[in-house]
Amino acid sequence: MRRLKKNLLPVLLLIFNLFTLDVLAQQDNYIQTLSHQNHWVDSVYKRLSRKQKVAQLFFVRAHTNRGVAYEDSVAKVIKSQQVGGLVFFQGGPVRQADLTNRYQKISNVPLLIAMDGEWGVGMRLDSTISYPYQMTLGAIQDNSLIYKMGQQVAYDFKRLGMQMNFGPDMDVNNNPNNPVINYRSFGDNKYNVAKKGIAYFKGMQDAGLLTTAKHFPGHGDTNVDSHFDLPLLPFSVERLDSLEEYPFREAVKAGIAGVMIAHMSIPALDSTKNQPSTLSKKIVTRVLKNELGFKGLIVSDAMEMKAVTKYYPDGEAELKAFLAGNDIIELSDDSKKAIQKIRRAVRRGDIPDEQFEAKVKKVLAAKYWSGLNNLHEVSTEHLFADLNRPAARELVQQLSDAAVTLLKGNAQTLELNPIQKTAIISIGVDKATIFQTELAKWYSNSTLFTINKSTSVAELNRMLETLKDYGQVYVGIHDTRARPQSKLDYSNGVKEFITALAEHNNTVISVFANPYTIAGLPGIEKSGALIACYQMSNELQRAAVKVITQQLKPTGKLSVSVNVYFPNGAGL
């Protein structure tokens, strides 16, 4: 009998674990919970004054890289205004965990803590993992990998005591010169953007993280950065409905928890002069809430951005955003003044009491769904190891391997001859790269060369003469900028050098840069082989080496249209 019990124990544990996972899988998502009465939400709401209720809608900026005085100033705002949440920006993970614990202790209602983490917490924090940019992910054909990434990102957020990601970006980037979205988008195909965005946010939400599709109704076809001025979206209602809004409509159907509103002038939807979409009731309430049927959290883009403050200073923008239908007012320039203005508006009856109550309760319900009704301190023990776990690093490499795209070439033009005299060149850098050192392991008779962004024409010409002695040439084009834009910041001489290299069919070129940069390198399509690698990361450099050495069959497809040679979906 004792032996029977011993044998049954593992089976019972397995059944219990499967049952637990099944129960978790059947839990309502955030949108579904809004239709249920919530006693915790009701009790918190009842004990708050009108001013405190308004303050629940405000999320303020927090950093851990600006010193003690700045941290203390944020603490003062939390204590005096009792705001609803924080948005963390640059800093370090341990410092952020410690500061989160400090800030939560001085808040009467637990703070909902968010971050812009489009490619994970590494977008903001040092010593943490960055996943590939969304334009890189757009090339992947297996969306289950992106779902897994969502789960890993959610783990990191929750491990750091955060409950909401202001991501994914679901803009269709159909303007190659877009200065603010660009590589942050999954690409220029609305169907691909929708599918990738849904896979990403479902992974995060299924792992217990609130998410936010941005920037509604679509920031992909602009040539102005809303951080600095108000962009114009001059398209018809039909165009906006069929293209820009498509991914957001699909995200709403799929159960996205939140939607962030863009700061843009959109005359077809609201002709009010110089009015950002964030402040437009016609766009926020009529289009998003009524026409698309969105019931979740509506989040303003940062209210400190020039697209807003240029025309609506001194808390006026926050009041208009509130009345337009936003539930979360993010990064107010003056939250104290803005809270006062909204409180007066509520007292005057500018918004029906039931609408105001629904806004506040939506924020409180998000806190409950995230587990903040049972708040725990963030542990810093093993934090670095937890955020840099092997499973996450392996997934970054998997994603990179799945994204790399062969635009031209085949096994013969790629691998060439392992014993032939080989030149391995990295352009745009000052020292040898991972691409070079990894590839050199496969070519015993190889020499490494580096060309920086502004190498002189004389030196480049000497290099071309030297390369005549080499039977095969592998080239890496690297963009080391923190924000990789559509055009490389190389000198004209260096660009002409690349054109000269590409004229030889013994040249294999790998582009570790924004794929749009290929269009600015005329003649690159003549090279023996061309690989799009999307961004400068160690993982994508290793993926390119795997493709060249036949360890990896490339499956990526171009996520944007580059030119007539390489349209969206190109990839051999």
What CATH number does residue 366 fall under?
3.20.20.300
CB-based burial, 340-360: b 16+ in 10 Å, e otherwise: ebbbebbeeeebeeeebeebb
Q: Is the pLDDT of residue 1 over 70?
A: no
Tokens of 219: 């920031």
Q: How confident is the model at residue 306 (pLDDT cuts 50, 70, 90)?
A: confident
Q: Is the pLDDT of residue 366 over 60?
A: yes
The mean pLDDT of 189-214, rounded to a whole number, is 98
Residue 399 lies inside a defined structural domain of this protein: no
Q: How confident is the model at residue 314 (pLDDT cuts 50, 70, 90)?
A: confident
Q: Is the peptide bond before 215 cis (omega within 30 degrees of 0)?
A: yes
The answer on 306 and 217 residing in a single domain is yes
Among residues 303, 341, 369, which one has the least CA distance to residue 112? Answer: 369
The mean pLDDT of 211-230, rounded to a whole number, is 92
Tokens of 565: 């040679």
Residue 560 lies inside a defined structural domain of this protein: no
Amino acid at 37: Q
Supply the pLDDT for residue 406: 98
The answer on 347 and 265 residing in a single domain is yes
The answer on 522 and 454 residing in a single domain is yes
* CATH code, 494: 3.40.50.1700
Residue 357 lies inside a defined structural domain of this protein: yes
Supply the pLDDT for residue 27: 72
Q: How far apart are CA 340 and CA 348, in angstroms?
A: 12
Supply the pLDDT for residue 25: 42
Range of the domain at 294: 13-32+49-391
Point out the domain boundary residue: 360, 391, 422.
391
C-beta separation of 44 from 82 below 8 A: no
The answer on 242 and 96 residing in a single domain is yes
Q: How confident is the model at residue 22 (pLDDT cuts 50, 70, 90)?
A: very low
Q: What is the pLDDT of residues 146-185, one digit of tens each?
A: 999 999 999 999 999 999 999 999 999 999 999 999 999 9
C-beta separation of 508 from 409 below 8 A: yes
Q: Based on the structure, what is the number of domains in the chain?
A: 2
The answer on 414 and 311 residing in a single domain is no
The answer on 305 and 188 residing in a single domain is yes
Residue 398 lies inside a defined structural domain of this protein: no
Point out the domain boundary residue: 349, 369, 391.
391
Across all residues in the chain, what is the average pLDDT?
Answer: 94
Q: How confident is the model at residue 226 (pLDDT cuts 50, 70, 90)?
A: confident
Tokens of 38: 């919530």
The answer on 111 and 168 residing in a single domain is yes
Q: Is the peptide bond before 247 cis (omega within 30 degrees of 0)?
A: no
Q: What is the pLDDT of residues 476-521, one digit of tens each?
A: 999 999 899 999 999 999 999 999 999 998 999 999 999 999 999 9
Supply the pLDDT for residue 362: 98
Q: Is the pLDDT of residue 19 over 60?
A: no
Q: Is the pLDDT of residue 132 over 80?
A: yes
Supply the pLDDT for residue 313: 84
Q: How confident is the model at residue 412 (pLDDT cuts 50, 70, 90)?
A: confident
Q: Is the pLDDT of residue 9 over 60?
A: no
Coil, strand or helix at 286: helix
Q: How confident is the model at residue 229 (pLDDT cuts 50, 70, 90)?
A: confident
Supply the pLDDT for residue 521: 98
Q: How confident is the model at residue 3 (pLDDT cuts 50, 70, 90)?
A: very low
Residue 138 lies inside a defined structural domain of this protein: yes
> What is the Cα 555 distance to its own chain's centre?
23
The answer on 209 and 280 residing in a single domain is yes
For residue 93, CA distances in Å to 158, 216, 323, 383, 390 come to 12, 30, 36, 8, 18
Residue 335 lies inside a defined structural domain of this protein: yes
The answer on 292 and 191 residing in a single domain is yes
Among the residue ranges 216-230, 261-275, 277-291, 391-405, the one predicted with the least confidence is: 216-230
Residue 571 lies inside a defined structural domain of this protein: no
Tokens of 326: 């936003």
- Indicate the pTM of the whole model: 0.93
Which helix (H) or strand (E) element contains residue 397? helix 390-403
Tell me the chain's radius of gyration from C-alpha atoms: 26
Quick one: angle between helices 390-403 and 538-548, nearest 10?
50
| 164-165 vs 258-261, strand pairing mode | unpaired
Supply the pLDDT for residue 161: 98
Q: How confident is the model at residue 223 (pLDDT cuts 50, 70, 90)?
A: confident
The answer on 375 and 433 residing in a single domain is no
The answer on 309 and 190 residing in a single domain is yes
Residue 40 lies inside a defined structural domain of this protein: no
Point out the domain boundary residue: 391, 421, 456.
391
The answer on 119 and 208 residing in a single domain is yes
